Amino acid sequence: MAVNLAAPDAADLLAIPGVQLGVAMAGIKKPGRKDLLVMRLVPGTTLAGVFTRNRFCAAPVILCRKNIDNAIQALVVNTGNANAGTGEDGVKRAGAVCEALASHIGCDADEVLPFSTGVIMEPLPAERIIAALPKALLARSNWLSAAEAIMTTDTVPKAFSKKVRLSGGAVGVTGIAKGAGMIRPDMATMLGFIATDARVSRAKLQAMLERIAERSFNCISVDGDTSTNDSLILAATGAGAAPSTRRDALKLEAAITDVARHLAQAIVRDGEGATKFVTVRVERGRSRDECRRVAYAIAHSPLVKTAFFASDPNLGRILAAIGNTGVDIGKLRLYLDEYPVATGGGRLGSYKEEQGAAAMKKPEFTVRAVLNRGAAEATVWTCDFSYDYVRINAEYRT
């Protein structure tokens, strides 16, 4: 069960002029489920993307990196099969899907970007995807249906919208994402697609997306494992107003960041087997990188995360994780929610274990580490490790 996360209401998700969505059932892994999404983009749409840094990357990531600077006309997304660890054959199969979609919509194959998610090292059933493309193209689907079509072990579809008023008029921002496992901050950590009808140049859009990713999807961790297929795409169709002033540009970026952060946190709330949503905030470090390193050490530690699950305020595990980063903890002050629990590497004299247990029993709480070494800070979001995390991943291929 996701932590304080409900399925979005389709009525709350803004249609984006210049984006056409089509969902179909291709029977890629399981019959009778949505597993194919086609997203058509109006000519003139600009596109930005960030992808996994895992050197063991999937075939669709290879093609996306190669072709993203082209005049992209469509995206095709399948779930149930990652097309990763499939070598040159995987690239050919992904290319065949792009060629088939391109022939339907009248563009070149290198103007279609493919995305896949699911089981690794299995051949992509390209023939099933190709056979289902006409159904997807005939469909007139909404963003909620699109979010459902890209789910794997997710228990809740993830989608969010925001409207922002620019000098030349209001524009919308809508995004969907999938992800529940193999999640760590190493851009990206899932599949994510965000669209706006604002008019933004390719160079500005790419720079904007990289900043947004650092403040959202690169601040989450479920299990510390980076996926082979991680991709985040931002599309600006240009059907609406352009940011004409610096204030406009900042407002648009803030709105897209809000959508991205909402989706990123939804991934953590829906982490495989998660029962707790935990904010890890590190303050007064020497640099932002130092603060992030400390925060990730806490967020990635299996010993810490299992203690979160048990509502066990095992301070030694948290302090050990921090100390393992090489940061001097002599001036450290540690908090669980509002309770000060440790200082200088030892338990605070006034701290009572019941206080820490009370904080950790809540479905959402904060671990705050004040390093007292400088003025920098960083925040990441993570979840606990439960019995279900092991079960889900033990049974993933069965």
Q: Measured between alpha carbons, how far is 353 from 182 in angstroms, rounded to an integer?
A: 33
Q: Measured between alpha carbons, how far is 24 from 18 in angstroms, rounded to an integer?
A: 20
Total residues belonging to the chain: 398
Active site residue 189: yes
Q: Measured between alpha carbons, how far is 255 from 16 in angstroms, rounded to an integer?
A: 14
Q: Measured between alpha carbons, how far is 144 from 175 in angstroms, rounded to an integer?
A: 10
Whether 272 and 227 have beta carbons less than 8 Å apart is answered as no
Which member of 79, 86, 152, 189 is catalytic? 189
Residue 181, helix vs strand vs coil: coil
HSE-up of residue 315 (Cα within 13 Å, Cβ side):
25
Residue 18, helix vs strand vs coil: coil
Q: Measured between alpha carbons, how far is 248 from 200 in angstroms, rounded to an integer?
A: 11
Question: Cα separations (Å) of 20 from 42, 70, 303?
Answer: 8, 19, 45
Q: Measured between alpha carbons, how far is 171 from 187 in angstroms, rounded to an integer?
A: 26
Q: Measured between alpha carbons, how far is 167 from 234 in angstroms, rounded to an integer?
A: 22
Radius of gyration for the chain, computed over Cα atoms and rounded to the nearest angstrom: 22
Q: Measured between alpha carbons, how far is 275 from 54 in angstroms, rounded to an integer?
A: 28
Residues contacting 358, CB < 8 A, separation 6+ = none
Bridge partners (DSSP) of residue 36 are 24, 78
In this structure, what DSSP letter does residue 286 have? S
**Cα end-to-end distance, the chain, whole Å:** 21
CB environment 298-329: b (16+ within 10 A), e (fewer): bbbbeebbbbbbebebbbebbbebbeeeebeb
- Cα three-residue angle 288-185-357, rounded to 5 degrees: 80
Catalytic residues: 189
